[in-house]
Amino acid sequence: MKFTGFVRKVDELGRIVLPMELRRSLNIEIRDSLEICVEGDNIILKKYQPSDVFTGGTDNLIDFHGKKVSISSIEEMAKLAGFKISND
């Protein structure tokens, strides 16, 4: 893990401010979502990237009942269900 030299206090609502330099270097924009992960006693923040619930892929996603699914996964499931898929 790389130490950045930034130290921030947690406010009364549990918030911290990510320094502008860090947000710029990681391409984090206002209103971007971050994933919060825990590894041992470390908290890891990662820029959230929506992905297919089945494959983890990030291309050609659609929203299906609040979940992200790729078109290729839908096509594969349709084939498994016996539907013929035409790419016309």
Q: What is the pLDDT along the chain (88 residues), one digit of tens a residue?
A: 788 888 999 999 999 999 999 999 999 999 999 999 999 999 999 988 889 999 999 999 999 999 999 999 999 999 999 998 876 6
Burial of 70 (0-12, 13-18, 19+ CB in 10 A): buried
Cβ of 18: how many Cβ atoms within 10 Å?
13
**What's the CA gap between 36 and 13, in Å, rounded?**
17
**What's the CA gap between 23 and 34, in Å, rounded?**
11
